[in-house]
Amino acid sequence: MTHHSQDQFAIEVCNVGMVFGSGAHAFKALDDVDVAIRENEFFTLLGPSGCGKTTLLRLIAGFSYPTEGEIRLHGRDIAALPPHKRPVNTVFQNYALFPHMTVSENIAFGLVMLGRPRAEIRDSVDRMLKLVQLEALKDRRTGQLSGGQQQRVALARALAPQPKVLLLDEPLSALDFKLRKEMQIELKRLQHETGITFIFVTHDQEEALTMADRIAVMSSGHILQIGSPRDIYDRPAERFVADFIGETNFMTADVLSCADGTAQVALPGGARFAARVPDGVRPSGQVSIVVRPEHAELVDPGAGAHLTGRLAHVVYFGTDTHYHVLLDTGQRFILRRQNSRNAGAEPPEGAVVGIRIDNGAAQMLKD
Amino acid sequence: MATAADIARQARSRDIRGRWFLASPALVIIALASIGPLAIVMVYSFLAPGSYGDVIWKYSPDAWESVFLKRDIFDNSLSLADAHLSIFWRSLRLSFLTTLIALLFGFPTAYFIATRSPRTREIWLFLVTIPFWTNLLIRTFAIQELIRNEGIVNKLLIRIGMIDAPIQMMFTDFAILLGMAYVYFPLMVLPLYASMEKIDFRLVEAGYDLYATRWKVLRHVIMPMTRPGIIAGSILVFIPTLGAYVTPRVLGGGRNLMLGNLIELQFGQGRNWPLGAALSMTLLAIVLLALMVYVRFAARTGGHHHGQ
């Protein structure tokens, strides 16, 4: 799919490949990556370290140039433009604030370089300081700021020149848990208020699920799946995606019949169940299916149970409880139940239990 | 009976004595190597010259007078010692130019080294410091071999037909500048490199990302962050060149004196040790003054020192 329609996309990455080094030491960081990011979208590139997500971000920023393919900004090929000619700004992982400048000077930098009139720069800086709530610190040096404050300065500095696209390279990874939660909401607010397209790189699946409009899951230089957080979480098409995001139960099952994107499969133990089939797959024989731990419940064995086994461990997490069940077939199955005051009695560890999978909760993988 | 306060006081005074004791080697060295010799030079500058060198132990302000003023041999009237003053001025001018040249070439060199991979950096630094292992005199004569009338440069230029007659380079200010800039080049490169090495080059990327061209990144990001290195390098080059002796002597010949040569003259042929001592103290004063002006200037234009 090389041809995207031109005007509704902010960034189109078309068949981009990136090779570092040459000869025997060549390393393919990106392989035939194809993705289109919509205007005003909060788009997240999610994957483990070394999957190529930062490389892709740097290609969009212009810090390096792709060895193949095109990168388009509003339909115009920018793959060969240097960074200072792209209306794209970056929030760096370590913030990369200029230590020899004050907060205001940092925020003004891009506008000064663009040669904007002095009055306009002053107004923009004031507006940005207000937006990130740093008015009180505007004359401080950046070295005197806390991590969260530096983060805000970095955001304001990148937003001040009103870029078409804002790139964020794991901007929250250096913050502690509480601050990270705050900044997640803050970023969503900023994106909403500025209407700028955000491309956000992270290895934190929870961050991706809570913030993104759409997520691209990457692994070893490839994009495996693109979709809304709900798509990615509920309907993972690949084993890697299912495994990387959240906890999952993997099972093998035999396909009995298939129609309209749903297959009847026989679960281990013999029970029949309907599983969703990923697009473009014609399942047959033995397949892998996944079920999220919260999409199944413990029941008495026999009473409509799809699987039976022995309750091996009960792990209490505060908000919820995990039940580790050793199935009769020898595999493990994890269930998650929200804790509530009026929850029913809990079976003791070692008890024989049944597992009922929610309707529509089973998803077949491509492999 | 000792109270807790007494014990604490005793412990504190023991502590202070212990500190003085531990600092004593450094204090002795400072006293012997720095303050002592300076005091001797200061005292000598107020004595009268002996006829075969050395001094006569008798107070005389004549040396200090003749640093700045000269007495007419016929009518005994005083006028400005313009020979001395012009040598001061020459020295200042040449040192300043040397510093500027070293900075102009040292900055890109240090930047080049700082942007190599860590392993290659060490090799480049090693190459920059190699000339330092050779005797200064030999390096200076090597330059002479390059630029003298029958030297390599002139021969080459004549051979390829760019000139007909050799260019006179020896015994000019150019020769002195070339020699001093070459000799003190590593002293400029090393501090520049040290401060550039600390630059987070992601800041350079941030500059490019925020619409700065290469020149503007250099001007607004790299140079301000290299300021401590620029100041240190300039001081390290300026001070020794101001008192340089070998290079102006060999490459400048007898005509193009600098302060160092003037001082040497007083202790040698001039047989006027007090004047030499007074000139040395003057040199010290000039250096201090220049440093103060420079640091003030650098702090004002920069103002970006990390106050920790």
| B248-272 pLDDT tens trace | 988 988 777 888 899 998 998 888 9
In this prediction, residue B19 has a pLDDT band, given cuts at 50, 70 and 90, of confident
Mean pLDDT, range B165-189, rounded to an integer: 91
Out of A96, A113, A143, the one facing B202 most closely (by C-beta) is A96
- Confirm if A230 and A360 have CB atoms less than 8 A apart: no
Out of B206, B212, B224, the one facing A96 most closely (by C-beta) is B206
CB contact under 8 A, A92 and B205: yes
pLDDT of residue A267: 84
Out of A90, A100, A158, the one facing B224 most closely (by C-beta) is A100
Closest chain A CA to residue B217:
A113
Distance CA A15, CA A214 (A): 20
Residues 6+ apart with CB under 8 A from A175: A147, A148, A151, A183
Percentage of chain B surpassing pLDDT 90? 47
Distance CA A269, CA B78 (A): 119
**Taking CB atoms and an 8 Å cutoff, what residues of chain B touch A83?**
205, 208-209
Out of A98, A110, A141, the one facing B203 most closely (by C-beta) is A98
B209 CA to chain A: closest CA distance, Å? 5
Beta strands at A352-357 and A296-299: parallel, antiparallel or unpaired: antiparallel
Mean pLDDT, range B196-208, rounded to an integer: 92
Crossing angle for the helix pair A103-113 and A147-159, nearest 10 degrees?
Answer: 20
Residue A348 in this model has a pLDDT that exceeds 60: yes
pLDDT of residue B252: 87
| B94-135 pLDDT tens trace | 999 999 999 999 999 999 999 999 899 999 999 998 988 888
- Confirm if A301 and A354 have CB atoms less than 8 A apart: yes
pLDDT of residue A360: 82
CB contact under 8 A, B208 and A84: yes
pLDDT of residue A5: 47
pLDDT of residue B1: 58
Quickly tell me which residue has 């290079």 as its tokens: B247
The closest of A37, A41, A67, A74 to A52, measured between CA atoms, is A67
Residue A255: both structure tokens together: 């396909």
Distance CA A122, CA A105 (A): 10
Out of A62, A110, A143, the one facing B210 most closely (by C-beta) is A110
Residues of B with CB under 8 A from a CB of A: 200, 202-203, 205-213, 216, 220-221, 224-225, 227, 302, 304, 306
- Name the helix (H) or strand (E) containing A164: none
- Confirm if B211 and A114 have CB atoms less than 8 A apart: yes
Percentage of chain A surpassing pLDDT 90? 53
The answer, as to whether pTM is greater than 0.80, is no
Mean pLDDT, range B40-66, rounded to an integer: 90
| DSSP bridge pairs for A253 | A287
Distance CA A284, CA B175 (A): 88
Average pLDDT, chain B: 88
Distance CA B71, CA B65 (A): 9
Closest chain A CA to residue B208:
A84
Mean pLDDT, range B134-141, rounded to an integer: 90
Residues of A with CB under 8 A from a CB of B: 61-63, 82-84, 88-90, 92, 94, 96-101, 109-110, 113-114, 141, 143, 157-158, 161
Which of A18-37 are b and which e, b meaning 16 or more Cβ less than 10 Å from the residue's Cβ? beeeeeeeeebbbbebbbbb
B302 CA to chain A: closest CA distance, Å? 9
In this prediction, residue A280 has a pLDDT band, given cuts at 50, 70 and 90, of confident
Instruction: Write B51-58 long-range contacts (CB < 8 A, 24+).
Output: B51/B271, B52/B271, B53/B267, B53/B271, B53/B273, B54/B273, B55/B273, B55/B274
**Taking CB atoms and an 8 Å cutoff, what residues of chain A touch B304?**
100-101
Distance CA A42, CA A25 (A): 36
pLDDT of residue A108: 96
pLDDT of residue A268: 78
Helix ranges (DSSP H) in chain B: 4-30, 36-44, 62-68, 82-114, 118-129, 136-147, 152-159, 173-197, 201-209, 214-217, 223-242, 246-252, 259-267, 273-302
Distance CA B115, CA B197 (A): 8
In this prediction, residue B300 has a pLDDT band, given cuts at 50, 70 and 90, of low
ipTM of the predicted assembly exceeds 0.90: no
Mean pLDDT, range A330-349, rounded to an integer: 82
Residues 6+ apart with CB under 8 A from A32: A15, A16, A17, A69, A222
pLDDT of residue B275: 92
Out of A62, A84, A99, the one facing B213 most closely (by C-beta) is A84
CB neighbours of residue B12 within 10 Å:
10
B119 CA to chain A: closest CA distance, Å? 17
pLDDT of residue B303: 44
Per-residue three-class SS string for B150-162: CCHHHHHHHHCCC
Rg (CA), chain A: 24
The closest of B236, B287, B257, B104 to B173, measured between CA atoms, is B257
CB contact under 8 A, B209 and A113: no
Strand order in the sheet with A76-77: A27-38, A9-20, A68-73, A76-77
CB contact under 8 A, B210 and A94: no
Mean pLDDT, range B15-32, rounded to an integer: 89
In this prediction, residue A343 has a pLDDT band, given cuts at 50, 70 and 90, of low
pLDDT of residue B305: 41
**Taking CB atoms and an 8 Å cutoff, what residues of chain B touch A88?**
209
pLDDT of residue A186: 87
pLDDT of residue B2: 64
In this prediction, residue A346 has a pLDDT band, given cuts at 50, 70 and 90, of confident
Out of A168-182, B2-16, B171-185, B288-302, least confident range: B288-302
Average pLDDT, chain A: 89
- Confirm if B175 and B251 have CB atoms less than 8 A apart: yes
Closest chain A CA to residue B223:
A100
Closest chain B CA to residue A142:
B306
Q: Where is pLDDT greater, at B159 or B78?
A: B159
Closest chain A CA to residue B215:
A113
φ, ψ of residue B167 to 5 degrees: the values are -80, 135
